Amino acid sequence: MSGTTYPTYEWLQKSGRCRPSIDFVRLRWYLSGPISAKIHVLESAFDATSPQSPYQPSPDSDSFHSISASPVSYPPVSSITVTVGLLDNWAESWEDVHIHCAEPERERVTTLPDGTKQLERCCGTDRTGPGPSLTVTASGGDSSPGFVTIHDYVMAVHPWLLARSRHSPRDWRLSKVFSQGGIRDFFCIRNF
């Protein structure tokens, strides 16, 4: 393992000093199937029409594209917490839908410590909590560089997002985002 200690993404983000690595922006990531079929790597990060090669040559292969060892961000980080923007704002969106509800007798409102009122239940549904999150950490071991690699990120986030899109009723909107595919949609989903 590297002797260097890297900060977390969240710590760097507070100062606005963290962004995706050049190799990471080369990924073309579609969230509707296996990594071997749905993640490709552009030859050039600066040309979206440049040729692409698979991130994983085949489902049975243990080899991955050379960018897999690159840091996910610049500067490199020891961990990054991934969230889904649509679900982070789900509670506020839910409240916006119910703010002018015609059935006030079916509402439940609570007063927060700061004195503001918050709608907790309306139309037979409860306000949702915060969206799900996943913390990706640098892989361990003697050969680990000590920072989150593209491979660490892909191997943790891809199955997590697929599971979110299939199993949770509050994630129904994600199927639309996921079906559109592409790295631009994915940038909206994660923290960069």
CA triple 51-70-33, angle to 5 deg: 60
Assigned domain for 116 exists? yes
Using the structure block, give the residue that is written with the tokens 């892989």: 139
Does residue 48 register a pLDDT over 50? Answer: yes
Are residue 47 and residue 106 in the same domain, yes or no?
Answer: no
Assigned domain for 23 exists? yes
- Please answer whether residues 139 and 128 qualify as being in contact, where contact means their C-beta atoms are separated by less than 8 angstroms: no
Are residue 68 and residue 97 in the same domain, yes or no?
Answer: no
Assigned domain for 54 exists? yes
Are residue 178 and residue 124 in the same domain, yes or no?
Answer: no
Are residue 48 and residue 104 in the same domain, yes or no?
Answer: no
Does residue 38 register a pLDDT over 70? Answer: yes
Give residue 161's pLDDT band: very low, low, confident or very high (50, 70, 90): confident
Are residue 145 and residue 78 in the same domain, yes or no?
Answer: yes
Are residue 19 and residue 70 in the same domain, yes or no?
Answer: yes
Are residue 167 and residue 141 in the same domain, yes or no?
Answer: yes
Give me the mean pLDDT over the 45-71 stretch: 93
Does residue 52 register a pLDDT over 50? Answer: yes
Domain count, the chain: 2
Are residue 56 and residue 22 in the same domain, yes or no?
Answer: yes
Are residue 18 and residue 63 in the same domain, yes or no?
Answer: yes
Assigned domain for 115 exists? yes
Are residue 137 and residue 123 in the same domain, yes or no?
Answer: no
Assigned domain for 125 exists? yes
Assigned domain for 4 exists? no
- Please answer whether residues 49 and 59 qualify as being in contact, where contact means their C-beta atoms are separated by less than 8 angstroms: no
What is the Cα Rg of the chain in Å?
20
141-145, 150-154, 172-176, range with greatest mean pLDDT: 150-154
- What is 84-152 written as a DSSP string? -HHHHTHHHHHHHHHTT-S-GGG-EEEE-TTS-EEEEEETTEEPP-PPPEEEEE---STT--SS-BHHH
Q: What range does the domain containing 113 cover?
A: 90-131
